[in-house]
């Protein structure tokens, strides 16, 4: 949840920040991709640290530094400063998601691992509820004063409140023990048994001394960090998982960053029953001869109603996550992934003909909700890579995915205004291609 609010939250205040700091549409795309670019830059390093320093120790460091950087970014006085600190925040929050999935996965057996990784993914959707809900209460506030050279407006307060999930997560991480599987892989047998005793005591309510095992050995010791252990099969599957994750993030994150603009355009012209692309054409035509100051002064340009719709969409995301976590044991990861991707592709193409506001928002949500498949991809990568390179493997796949988000946030905006219909048809076609690639993903438990 902290990862989502830190990386995606800025997109929801982009209009207010643009009016304050006076940046262009191109700079808006760069700023929206800053966090993803930071993640893409540092993910592999953070995965290496998680595999060498430990999952929990690395997670504590990453959360603390990213929290400090995020708070500093709130006081940015220009585009360059805001971009730099959002980029650095992304660099250190990058290990959060991969570390958490690895952490959860290593506390569960192969029978329960996928389901619980999917359940943890529900908190990703909680971020999409938390931030719009805050925006509804904070953005209309009459806050307008200076702290030194910083013009403090509601969007800055909103960005500061956006760090609360990171604060809570940081406090919670200090309570977590290191994973038994990691400790065992490091040869720390007694510490491993002690952690298992603690977990056993919490789960059963019985004293630690009644834990029925004193000695544990690692059956699969891995093959070390060497080139010969990275087989052709592993190279192909790494490429396959990375490609699918890249495309999912490009479409989902690239489109979601412009969701407030999309919703605002549709709500503003709701009586005209326009399609998504028709609404963009109308707004683009209306704004063609207006300056940034005139656009910012227009009362219709900042409709708080859009955040209410975003909160509803976040609730729908959560329902989808819960549904996926409940059915994944019955359908299997691969079938669920292909099915949901196919549904997203169909909805994307269908947007060309839909005029009803509620249906447009529903089909847009389902299209963007292919992001929910990232949890499935994380679980797939988690099962595929052995313990000694697990966090690095998962981080690499997530890193390529974030590169997709960087590409998406920079190309989707201009394409929405220039080639909107073609963009959504292209979404459907590309999703169809990665459905074929998804068929060749590794089977559960294959390492």
* 186 in any annotated domain: no
Give the model confidence (pLDDT) of 128-140 as tens digits: 888 889 988 898 8
Task: State pLDDT tens for residues 127-179.
Answer: 888 888 998 889 888 888 888 888 898 889 999 999 999 999 888 888 888 88
153 shares a domain with 8? yes
Share of the chain above pLDDT 90, in %: 19
User: In terms of domains, do 390 and 323 share one?
Assistant: yes
Which residues does 406 contact at the CB level (< 8 Å), separation at least 6?
A: 33, 36, 37, 40
Q: Token pair 């506001």 is at which residue?
A: 357
Rg over CA atoms, the chain: 22
Q: Quick one: pLDDT at residue 51?
A: 78
Count of residues for the chain? Answer: 447
| pLDDT mean across residues, the chain | 82
Q: In terms of residue numbers, what domain contains 343?
A: 231-446
Residue 225 has pLDDT above 50, yes or no: no
Q: CA 258 → CA 33, 49, 108, 280, 408, distances in Å?
A: 12, 34, 37, 11, 11
In this predicted structure, which of 245-249, 270-274, 411-415 has the lowest mean pLDDT?
A: 270-274
On whether residue 426 sits in a domain, the answer given is yes
Which are the contacts of 188, defined by CB distance < 8 A and separation ≥ 6?
A: none
Q: Are residues 154 and 259 in the same domain?
A: no
Is residue 321 included in any domain, yes or no? yes
Sign of torsion over alpha carbons 221, 227, 233, 239? positive
pLDDT: is 265 or 79 the higher one? Answer: 79
Q: What CATH number has the domain bearing residue 169?
A: 1.20.1250.20
Confidence band, pLDDT 50/70/90 cuts, at residue 426: very high
Q: Domain end: 177, 207, 242, which one?
A: 177
Residue 32, token pair as written in the block: 């929206």
Query: What was the pLDDT predicted at 246?
Result: 95
Is 129 within a domain? yes
pLDDT of amino acid 228? 45
- Please tell me whether residues 141 and 239 are part of one structural domain: no
End-to-end CA distance of the chain: 29
250 to each of 282, 306, 337, 413, how far by Cα in Å?
26, 23, 17, 12
Please check the confidence at residue 256 and state whether its pLDDT lies above 70: yes
pLDDT, tens only, 54-75: 888 888 888 899 999 999 999 9
According to the model, what pLDDT value does residue 353 have? 92
Report residue 432's pLDDT band, with 50, 70 and 90 as the boundaries: very high
Whether residue 236 is found in the same domain as residue 166:
no
CA dihedral sign of residues 267, 273, 275, 280: negative
Range in 13-27, 274-288, 318-332 with the lowest mean pLDDT: 274-288
Asked if residue 110 has pLDDT above 60, the reply is yes
Give the per-residue pLDDT at 332: 85
3-state SS class at 162: coil
Q: Tens of pLDDT along 302-332?
A: 667 788 888 888 888 888 888 888 888 788 8
Same domain, 3 and 130: yes
Whether 216 is in a domain gets the answer no
Task: Select from 145, 177, 209 the last residue of a domain.
Answer: 177
What pLDDT shows up at residue 223? 45
- Exposed, middle or buried by CB within 10 Å (0-12, 13-18, 19+), for 332? middle
Q: Tell me: do 143 and 283 sit in the same domain.
A: no
Q: How far apart are CA 305 and CA 312, in angstroms?
A: 11
Domain count, the chain: 2
pTM of the model: 0.76
Does some domain include residue 187? no
Q: Which residues pair with 241 in a beta bridge?
A: none
> Which residue, among 390, 372, 373, has the nearest Cα to 381 in the 3D structure?
390
**Coil, helix or strand for 151?**
strand
Structure confidence at residue 183 as a pLDDT band (50, 70, 90): confident
């Amino acid at each position: 949840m902290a990862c989502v609010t830190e990386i995606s939250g800025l997109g929801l205040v982009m209009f207010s920040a643009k009016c304050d700091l006076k940046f262009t549409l191109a700079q808006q795309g760069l700023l929206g991709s800053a966090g993803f670019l930071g993640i893409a830059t540092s993910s592999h390093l953070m995965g290496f640290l998680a595999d060498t320093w430990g999952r929990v120790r690395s997670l504590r460091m990453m959360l603390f530094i990213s929290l400090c950087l995020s708070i500093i970014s709130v006081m940015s006085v220009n585009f360059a400063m805001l971009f730099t600190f959002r980029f650095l925040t992304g660099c250190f929050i990058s290990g959060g998601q991969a570390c958490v999935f690895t952490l959860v996965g290593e506390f569960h057996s192969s029978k329960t691992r996928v389901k619980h990784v999917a359940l943890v993914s529900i908190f990703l959707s909680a971020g999409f509820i938390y931030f719009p809900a805050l925006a509804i209460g904070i953005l209309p506030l009459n806050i307008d004063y200076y702290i030194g050279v910083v013009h403090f407006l509601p969007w800055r307060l909103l960005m500061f409140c956006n760090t609360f999930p990171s604060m809570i997560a940081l406090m919670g991480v200090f309570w977590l023990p290191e994973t038994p599987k990691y400790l065992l892989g490091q040869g720390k047998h007694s510490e491993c048994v002690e952690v298992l005793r603690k977990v056993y005591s919490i789960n059963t309510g019985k004293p630690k001394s009644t834990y029925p095992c004193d000695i544990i050995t690692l059956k699969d010791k891995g093959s070390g960090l060497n080139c010969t252990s990275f087989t052709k099969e592993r190279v192909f599957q790494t490429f396959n998982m990375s490609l699918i994750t890249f495309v999912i993030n490009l479409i989902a994150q690239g489109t979601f960053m412009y969701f407030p603009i999309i919703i605002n355009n549709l709500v503003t012209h709701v009586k005209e029953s326009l399609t998504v692309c028709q609404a963009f054409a109308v707004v683009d035509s209306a704004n063609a001869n207006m300056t940034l100051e005139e656009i910012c002064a227009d009362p219709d340009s900042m409709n708080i109603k859009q955040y209410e719709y975003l909160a509803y969409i976040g609730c729908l995301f959560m329902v989808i996550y819960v549904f996926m976590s409940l059915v994944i044991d019955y359908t299997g990861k691969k079938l669920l992934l292909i099915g949901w991707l196919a549904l997203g592709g169909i909805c994307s193409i269908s947007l060309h003909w839909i005029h009803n506001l509620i249906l447009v928002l529903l089909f847009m949500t389902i299209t963007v909700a292919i992001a929910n498949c990232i949890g499935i991809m994380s679980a797939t990568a988690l099962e595929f890579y052995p313990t000694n390179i697990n966090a690095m493997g998962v981080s690499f796949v997530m890193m390529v995915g974030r590169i997709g988000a960087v590409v998406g946030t920079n190309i989707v905006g201009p394409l929405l205004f220039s080639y909107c219909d073609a963009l959504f048809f292209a979404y459907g076609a590309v999703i169809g291609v990665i459905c074929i690639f998804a068929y060749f993903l590794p089977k559960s438990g294959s390492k």
